[in-house]
Amino acid sequence: MYPLRKKFSISIVLVASLLLSSATKPTLIGLGVGAGAAVGTAAGGNDSGFEKIDHVATAALTVLGAGVGAMSGYLVGRGGSKRVLIYQAK
């Protein structure tokens, strides 16, 4: 008929869940800090008569600073993960 079956015993000692954190919040914080720093740097005024060029340079530096800040925030925030304990045998 059927061959003899061996009985195995399994004991579960620990059950945990791995939660990956989102990099959205650090990216947005970096974007704001980068844009603010770039505006602060570029807006240091001088009255040289080149207002139109100054506005273009301020806008370009703001976009560049926002991009650098967002990339920095993403790189800092992407590596996080948290292990949450669900069950542990005593």
In a domain, 1, yes or no: no
Dig out the tokens for 64 from the structure. Answer: 């560049």
Residue range(s) defining the domain that contains residue 32? 15-88
- Backbone dihedral region of 63: left (phi > 0), alpha (psi from -120 to 50 degrees) or beta? alpha
User: What digits encode the pLDDT tens for the residues 56-80?
Assistant: 878 888 888 888 989 998 888 887 7
Confidence of residue 34 (pLDDT cuts 50, 70, 90): confident
Q: Tell me the β-bridge partners of 83.
A: 18
Nearest by Cα to 74 from 35, 36, 23: 23
In a domain, 9, yes or no: no
- Asked if residues 38 and 65 have their Cβ atoms less than 8 Å apart, the reply is yes
pTM over 0.85: no
In a domain, 5, yes or no: no
Nearest by Cα to 35 from 71, 76, 80: 71
| Nearest-angstrom CA–CA distance, 20 and 86 | 16
The mean predicted confidence, pLDDT, of the chain is 79
In a domain, 3, yes or no: no
In a domain, 61, yes or no: yes
In a domain, 50, yes or no: yes
Total domains in the fold of the chain: 1
